[in-house]
Structure 1
Amino acid sequence: MPEVIFSGPAGRIEARYHHSKAAGSPIAILLHPHPTFGGTMNNPIVHAMYQMFQSRGFSVLRFNFRGVGRSQGVFENGAGELSDAASALDWLQSFNREAKICWIAGVSFGAWISMQLLMRRPEISGFISVAPLAKHYDFSFLAPCPASGLFVNGEKDTVTSPEAVHSLVSKLKTQKGITVEHKVIPGANHFFQDKIDELTKTCSTYLDKRLAAEGQL
């Protein structure tokens, strides 16, 4: 997991990157939880998903939002972090110009940012949104949701309940051929304490299903 530094809108961005040597490999970008509540690219869920994509032949990038770790700048509560994510995707694509499949995954606050980037970048073909803050942030911009993906949260999530995420998913307008799924991990809280293996298995099953349908497995 080599460390990389690249330029972002607020200065340098600190990241970790795995490059797949196979020509035309798919790519994935991971967005971490809320910076002011301790969220970093080393979050256990982000790290587990990084390994999940890596094991399936993806070139994959995780990075620190502005003001986190060695990334420059200060927290901007969304707008700046979205710009950071766009710059990170630009950097990833610059090293993988032949990639035809692009995925994005975000955790909590990162899930909200990831869905905004999804709306702006039509090349993103799939998403995994973990513990999205459906009660705290407005997701109405997903009208319609442009790609199929998975929302997943914990049964005992007291930050955003499964019911709130279910309501979000049920209200999403989708284009023809787009399917948005919602999975609930039994017994899991917002941080998936002691449940990250179950979370990873659920996400892996979904990812494998999608890749098989697209002829990538």
Structure 2
Amino acid sequence: MLARTEKISFQGVAGAIDCVLDLPMDAARGWALVLHPHPLHGGARENKIVTTIARACVQHGLIALRPNFRGVGASAGEFDRAVGETADMLELVRQFGDAYPEAAAGKWVLAGFSFGTSVAAQLYSELAEKHGKLPDALLLAGSAVDRFKFRDITVPDDTFLVHGEADEVVPLAEAMDFARQRELPMVVVPDAGHFFHGKLIVLRRLLEQRLASV
């Protein structure tokens, strides 16, 4: 259960990263970094897919960290098509580890929705290249990884992909191309659009099933 939500700020390459922490009732066994959709189209940490993912993570004993990307809320900087956002998240991961060493030493879930999937996948790739600590699970909802790709992508074989059959923003065929190229399975939610209207309970159940193995 969610105990409380606290505001916190970290320092990215462009300046302050405006964040909130969702804290579990009991001692955390790890943490989750949950990344929001496109900043220029209303994307922010309060997005309902982002909060659904965060709550599922908290339910599994993880601290959920929800940052605002550049130019959103009190976060400094301007939209940088995932390049600067990924650099900021690298800084955030390091600083979170310094501030919350016990949680950072536990399980780690990296998740994103829409534009946030591209930052998440490229953050994972950067960490793998730098031999940093890798997340125990990568969760991508409404995947738009290739739309904002600026580097080679490395994702784990057990990457969790979930997509709406009727996605009007990122067509299912586009997401299938990403999955096919990397030989990843993908869960398709029938009749669901990009924002999973009327399907959040289904999404939550799918997330909880994946998190049960973390």
CA contact (8 A) 1:159 1:190 kept: yes
Residue 112 of structure 1 contacts residue 139 of structure 1 at CA under 8 Å; is this kept in 2? Answer: no
Percent identity of paired positions between Structure 1 and Structure 2 = 29
User: Per the alignment, do residues 109 and 41 of structure 1 end up closer, same or farther by CA in structure 2, a change over 3 Å counting?
Assistant: same
Which residue does the alignment assign to 2:107? 101
Partner of 2:139: 128
* CA distance in 1 between partners of 2:17 and 2:146 (Å): 29
Query: In 2, are the aligned partners of 1:40 and 1:64 still within 8 Å (CA)?
Result: yes
Displacement of 1:140 in angstroms is 7.6
- Whether the aligned pair in 2 keeps the contact of 1:17 and 1:62 (CA below 8 Å) is yes
Query: 1:171 matched to which residue of 2?
Result: 181
Contact 1:134/1:164 (CA < 8 Å) preserved in 2? no
Matched, 1:157 2:162: no
Q: Secondary structure at the match of 1:53?
A: helix
| Structure 2 match to 1:90 | 94
Which amino acid letter does the alignment assign opposite residue 112 of structure 1? S
Paired residue total: 202
- Distance in 1 (alpha carbons) for counterparts of 2:19 and 2:139: 20
Matching residue of 1:215: none
**TM-score, scaled relative to structure 1:** 0.85
Aligned to 1:67: 71
How much has 1:162 moved relative to structure 2?
Answer: 2.2
1:113 equivalenced with 2:119 (yes/no): yes
CA offsets per residue over residues 172-202 of structure 1, 9 Å max, x none? 16xxxxxx43101111101111212211111
Question: Matched residues in 1 for 2:101 and 2:156: separation?
Answer: 22
SS at match of 2:147: coil
Deviation by residue 1:112-166 (Cα, 9 ceiling, x = unmatched):
1100001122422211101012563448823x53452211110101222223222
CA distance in 2, matches of 1:145, 1:14: 27
Task: Quickly say closer, same or farther: Cα 1:161–1:140, change in 2 above 3 A.
Answer: farther
2:189 pairs with 1:207: no
TM-score norm. by structure 2 comes to: 0.86
Q: CA RMSD in A?
A: 2.0
Q: Is the 8 A contact 1:130 1:151 kept in 2?
A: yes
Going from structure 1 to structure 2, the CA distance change for 1:138 and 1:14 (only over 3 Å counts) comes to closer
CA contact (8 A) 2:110 2:139 kept: yes
Question: Deviation per CA, 1:16-38, whole angstroms, max 9, x where unpaired?
Answer: 01345636x22110100000000
